[in-house]
């Protein structure tokens, strides 16, 4: 495992500007970043596999059509399109015309700052959320120069800070400052295409501190949903919700301040025994400037990168093959963690096996609700004992592959 840190990827008035979002394109050649300087920037990922202190020479292009802070960016699954959202209320779609990346569409519909965007599994639909309390659904299959939303989802009573589609495209999850996660069921044949499947409140009832973002993520097999900024027994946690039952089945505990982002690796891994369910790997980042990486087979984190930054972690992004994890921060820097996947994380399922697993699990929705992240208590309990839900308490992992990155400590105050 190797760790690389880079500074001042975004600048404003000669000072480092916050990096609010990162996204790796599917072939792993480009990293998109966006931030407080109103720019989206595209970088060669060669920068993030080295300690090169001259990042400018790895800059592919700066995209400058937003007129205010750019808060989020996300590649489509085929890598042909990049979506970005901004405080200017707009979502822009970018594509490579051959000579350069250019704006191809402007999506207008939000009335206030956009905080997150998420592509559907077929790249024909895009979701965005905003502090105007709405989630907008866009039909982007036509890629018209100017678009209006296809559907407006009104269910949150306060700012909506994160959205995520499940891998099957049947559910969209949204997280809001109203201490709720809404799961929306999508039915293309119904008169109303979206309806609330679940209104989840219990893991968030005791939350007292708010975060700038609440970026949530589905496991690659769609069986569980990871949500930041939860709270359990007065401790900041990320909670894992079981698909179908929509109940918390695990709490990832250990961060000193609220968790801001949860990102599952897109890769599924073989279970530790041949008969085990495939394992998933998830990374979480928080306002304590710390990133931790977990696997469903263990009750402790694989690795904890402490005090990576001088500010809150704003976003996380995995490469499609699961070997790179990129983190961004409000302090204007990024950290990239490069894994030896087989040694550090485990043996990957092939893409065909992973797809077959997904198809078998959800051929009929409402079937097995087996969890991608199983109850951690099952790891140590005897078979005769019924599993009970327990909090996952992190502890140092005494293994050679675990690196702990330390930087100058700084108490992170919640971002307004």
Phi/psi region, residue 346 (left: phi>0; alpha: psi -120 to 50; beta: rest), is left
Question: Cα separation of 285 and 242, whole Å?
Answer: 21
Q: Per the structure block, which two tokens stand in for 410? A: 């700084």
SS (H, E, C) 78-142: CCCEEEEEECCCCEEEEEECCCCEEEEEEECCCCCCEEEEEECCCCCEEEEEECCCEEEEEECCC
pLDDT at 140 over 50: yes
pLDDT digits (tens, 9 = 90+) for 316-342: 999 999 999 999 999 999 999 999 998
What values do phi and psi take at 301, rounded to 5? -65, 150
Q: Which tops the pLDDT comparison, 105 or 351? A: 105
pLDDT digits (tens, 9 = 90+) for 117-132: 999 988 999 999 999 9
Residue closest to 303 by CA, chosen among 254, 342, 259: 254
Considering the entire predicted model, what is its pTM?
A: 0.86
pLDDT at 407 over 50: no
Question: Cα separation of 115 and 385, whole Å?
Answer: 44
Q: Which tops the pLDDT comparison, 344 or 262? A: 262
Residues 6 or more apart whose Cβ sits within 8 Å of residue 246: 183, 197, 198, 200
Question: Cα separation of 118 and 102, whole Å?
Answer: 20
pLDDT digits (tens, 9 = 90+) for 69-98: 999 999 999 999 999 999 999 999 999 998
Question: Cα separation of 33 and 43, whole Å?
Answer: 8
| Residue given tokens 């963690």 in the structure block | 337
């Amino acid at each position: 495992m190797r760790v690389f840190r880079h500074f001042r990827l975004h600048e404003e008035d000669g000072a480092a500007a916050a990096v609010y979002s990162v996204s790796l394109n599917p072939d792993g050649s480009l990293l998109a970043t966006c931030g407080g300087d109103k720019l989206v920037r595209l970088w060669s990922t060669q920068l993030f596999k080295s300690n090169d202190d001259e990042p400018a020479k790895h800059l592919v292009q700066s995209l400058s059509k937003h007129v205010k802070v750019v808060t989020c960016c996300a590649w489509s699954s085929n890598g042909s399109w990049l979506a970005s959202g901004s405080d200017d209320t707009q979502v822009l779609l970018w594509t490579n015309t051959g000579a350069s990346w250019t704006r191809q569409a402007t999506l207008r519909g939000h009335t206030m700052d956009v905080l997150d965007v998420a592509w559907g599994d077929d790249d024909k639909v895009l979701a965005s959320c905003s502090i105007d309390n709405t989630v907008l659904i866009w039909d982007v299959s036509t890629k018209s120069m100017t678009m209006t939303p296809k559907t407006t989802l009104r269910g949150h009573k306060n700012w909506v800070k994160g959205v995520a589609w499940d891998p099957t495209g049947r559910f969209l999850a949204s997280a809001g400052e109203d201490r709720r996660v809404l799961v929306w069921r999508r039915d293309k044949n119904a008169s109303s295409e979206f309806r609330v499947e679940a209104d989840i409140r219990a893991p968030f009832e005791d939350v007292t501190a708010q975060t700038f973002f609440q970026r949530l993520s589905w496991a690659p097999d769609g069986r569980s949903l990871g949500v930041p900024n939860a709270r359990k027994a007065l401790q900041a946690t990320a909670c894992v919700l079981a698909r179908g039952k929509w109940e918390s089945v695990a709490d990832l505990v250990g961060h000193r301040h609220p968790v801001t982002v949860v990102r599952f690796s897109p890769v599924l891994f073989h279970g530790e025994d041949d008969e085990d369910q495939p394992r998933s790997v998830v990374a979480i980042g928080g306002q304590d400037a710390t990133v931790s990486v977990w696997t469903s087979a263990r009750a402790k984190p694989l690795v904890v990168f402490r005090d990576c930054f001088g500010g809150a972690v704003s976003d996380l992004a995995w490469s499609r093959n699961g070997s790179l994890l990129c983190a961004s921060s409000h302090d204007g820097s990024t950290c990239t963690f490069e894994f030896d996947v087989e040694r550090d994380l485990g043996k990957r399922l092939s893409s065909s096996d992973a797809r077959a697993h997904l198809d078998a699990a959800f051929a009929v929705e409402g079937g097995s609700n087996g969890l991608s992240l199983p109850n951690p208590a099952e790891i140590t309990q005897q078979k005769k004992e019924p599993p009970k839900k327990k909090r996952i308490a992190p502890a140092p992992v005494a293994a050679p592959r675990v690196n702990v990155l330390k930087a100058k400590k700084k108490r992170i105050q919640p971002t307004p």
